[in-house]
Structures are given as C-alpha cells and as structure tokens.
C-alpha cells in the first residue's frame, strides 16, 4: 500500500473520489500530516530495531502483550473510578459511571481477540464517561487462543443482553450505544447482528462507534497488499490473529457472516460512525463496511484519517485528540 503523502491535488485524491459516491465520508486531519507521518517513521524505525516476531505471537510475547497497555511497554494505569463486577451470565465488566448519566456506552476493547482488557484504557474511558455523561461498561471478554471463537462473541452478546434488560434499573436510562477499537469494533458489529438474528432485538442500541475494525477475516485487498510494514499491524500479524481467534478455519469458513460481518445482511442496524486511517491494513474493511451499512438503509459517517496507522488513538498525537473529541460528540448526539 502506498503511503499517504498528501501530494495529490486537493480534492482529487483516490479517497476523495470514493467519497463522492458515499454520503457522509470525510477525509480528515490532512493539516496534521507532518506530525502523523513523522510519528509513523519513528514507530517503524523503533520496530525495525527489535527482532521481528512471527505471524502468531509466542507464549512469551503474548504474556508481555497482555501485561502491558495496548501499544505500549508498561502496564496500564488502573483508576479507582472503575468498578469491576460480574453481570448476569457470568461475564466480567468494568464500569465507569459519573454522577450524572444520560446514556450507557457498551465498550469492547481491541487486542486481536488475544490480549487487551477491560481495565486497559481506564484514563480514556473515565474521561469519555465524564465528558459525555455516559456510564461506560467495558467487557472483559474471554481471550484466544485459550478461548477461541465463539467465546469472545458469546461474552459480548451476554453483556449486551444484560444491558438491554437492566440498564434502566442499573443506570437510570435505556439510551444505549455500542462500540470499540480494532477487534472490539468487529465484536461490536457481531454483537448487534446476534441481538437481531437470535432475539429479534433491533433499536435497543441507538448508535455504533467503530474504530479501525477487521470485518473480513478472509482478508480484504488492503489487508493482503499491506505487506511487512511494522505499523502496529500488518499482513502477517493479521493472519496470525485470525488463526488464534478462529483456529483451523479456512478462508471460506471465515467468510461466514457470524465470523466476518462484512458478509452479513446489515439491515436494521443503528446509525454508525466508522473510522480508519489511510496507513492501516484494515482500510478496505471500513470503506466496504460503510458502503454496505449505507446500502442497508442506516445512516453512516465514515471518517478516514490522513496518514494514520492502525491503533493511532493509542498514541499522543494531534489526530488522537481530535478523534476522541469526535467520538464524544457522536455519542452525545446519538
């Protein structure tokens, strides 16, 4: 995939031509390109100084990834504002509830279905809870490879059904939203589809906020063509993650709508905001999902962040602060 250099004539980029056919698509933050691209180069240079890992992480690497915060080399900071509990069905969640709550956001963390945790982003989730006046309920779903598909989706479904039934009693509101990052975005869409298909539940969640998710586990063209660039995720690491999550499945099995929501009927899903960076191997996943979401009749906003790599919101960048504000504004308005 060619790197975005901002050299195309303004208004005549490949993505702008896609935007002309998809309502609500915005290419954002081109004014931040110098910082964003410089960070990408620094990230790749630092990665090149470390031994390359194979497609699937070793047990030692996986243990390290689980111990540290996503994208970092230190454990995450746990805040006292977070409350751990086990909800109906035995699923663990972490709850952030400010004094005044106008809605509930079911958050599903990323980490390739194999690492990450509900307490891995306390600072960000507590900030969102306070600014948006939301109770944030983050799902601590079971992780692969110890618990492969469908364990993670099962846990997210259980947490979502608990909220549908009990949000009013627990939080004083039935205004629900759902969303997540990377694997968490994938699980968010899978959860909405399961609620619709298994229980006839539509409309309970008013909005979906989906950051740089993988929606085709048989691999979209951008996933296949990204190659070995070490920008947090690449072609090989995606393949390795899919093998951990869906061991033994071939490409055709991974195209099942239960595994890859890009192939599902998306009718009846709520309005969505879908975000991805131009330097993300999952770029096509978001472009294709947004087009299918819109074709199914639901409003969708597609934000494509110029120069951004996969997982960019984990890092202290100008585009991160802007994206967190856009996330807040979307959830407040839902």
| Residue 124: CATH number of its domain | 3.40.50.1820
pLDDT tens per residue across span 79-127: 999 999 999 999 999 999 999 999 999 999 999 999 999 999 999 999 9
Number of domains present in the structure of the chain: 1
pLDDT tens per residue across span 17-28: 455 446 667 789
What separation in angstroms does the CA of 88 have from each of 93, 154, 207? 11, 13, 23
Residue 70, pLDDT score:
87
Residue 233 lies in a domain: yes
Residue 213 lies in a domain: yes
Residue 8 lies in a domain: no
Please pick, among 107, 109, 186, 310, the residue that the annotation labels catalytic.
Answer: 310
Helix, strand, or coil (residue 312): helix
CA distance 92 to 90: 7
pLDDT tens per residue across span 286-298: 999 999 999 999 9
With beta carbons less than 8 A apart as the criterion, state whether 274 and 303 touch.
yes
Residue 263 has which token pair? 């192939």
pLDDT tens per residue across span 246-269: 999 999 999 999 999 999 999 999
User: For this structure, is 182 an active site residue?
Assistant: yes
Please pick, among 138, 182, 233, 286, the residue that the annotation labels catalytic.
Answer: 182
Residue 3 lies in a domain: no
Residue 6 lies in a domain: no
With beta carbons less than 8 A apart as the criterion, state whether 29 and 319 touch.
yes
User: For this structure, is 280 an active site residue?
Assistant: yes
Residue 164 lies in a domain: yes
- Decide: residue 54, CB within 10 A, 0-12 exposed, 13-18 middle, 19+ buried: exposed
Residue 5 lies in a domain: no
Walk across the sheet containing 83-87 and list its strands.
25-28, 300-309, 272-279, 205-211, 176-181, 103-108, 134-139, 91-96, 83-87
H or E segment and range at residue 153: helix 151-171
Share of the chain above pLDDT 70, in %: 92
What is residue 261's DSSP assignment? Answer: G
Residue 4 lies in a domain: no
Residue 69, pLDDT score:
85
User: For this structure, is 109 an active site residue?
Assistant: no
Please pick, among 119, 216, 280, 284, the residue that the annotation labels catalytic.
Answer: 280
Residue 152, pLDDT score:
99
- Domain residue limits at 276: 14-333
The answer to whether the bond into 150 is cis (omega within 30° of 0) is yes
């Amino acid at each position: 995939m060619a790197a975005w250099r901002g050299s195309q004539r303004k208004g005549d980029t490949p993505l702008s031509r896609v935007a002309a056919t998809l309502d609500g698509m915005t290419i954002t933050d081109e004014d931040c390109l110098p910082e964003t691209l410089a960070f990408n180069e620094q990230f790749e240079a630092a990665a090149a100084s470390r031994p390359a890992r194979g497609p699937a992480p070793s047990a030692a690497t996986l243990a390290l990834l689980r111990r540290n915060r996503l994208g970092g080399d230190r454990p995450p900071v746990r805040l006292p504002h977070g409350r751990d509990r086990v909800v109906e069905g035995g699923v663990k969640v972490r709850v952030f509830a400010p004094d005044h709550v106008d809605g509930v956001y079911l958050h599903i963390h990323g980490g390739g279905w194999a690492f990450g945790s509900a307490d891995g982003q306390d600072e960000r989730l507590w900030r969102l809870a306070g600014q948006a006046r939301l109770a944030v309920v983050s799902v601590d779903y079971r992780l692969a490879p110890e618990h492969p598909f469908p364990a993670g989706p099962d846990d997210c479904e259980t947490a979502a059904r608990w909220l549908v039934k009990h949000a009013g009693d627990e939080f004083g509101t039935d205004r629900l939203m759902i969303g997540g990052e990377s694997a968490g975005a994938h699980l968010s869409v899978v959860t909405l589809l399961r609620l619709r298909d298994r229980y006839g539940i539509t409309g309970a969640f008013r909005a979906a906020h989906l950051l740089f998710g993988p929606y085709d586990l048989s691999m979209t063209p951008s996933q296949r063509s990204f190659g070995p660039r070490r920008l947090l995720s690449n072609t090989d690491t995606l393949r390795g993650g899919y093998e951990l999550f869906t061991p033994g499945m071939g490409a055709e099995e991974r195209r099942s709508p239960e595994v890859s929501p890009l192939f599902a009927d998306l009718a009846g899903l709520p309005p969505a905001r879908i975000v991805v960076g131009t330097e993300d191997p999952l770029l096509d996943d978001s472009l294709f999902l947004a087009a299918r979401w819109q074709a199914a009749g639901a409003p969708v906003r597609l934000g494509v962040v110029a120069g951004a790599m996969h997982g960019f919101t984990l890092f202290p960048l100008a585009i991160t602060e802007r994206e967190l504000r856009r996330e807040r504004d979307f959830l407040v308005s839902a």
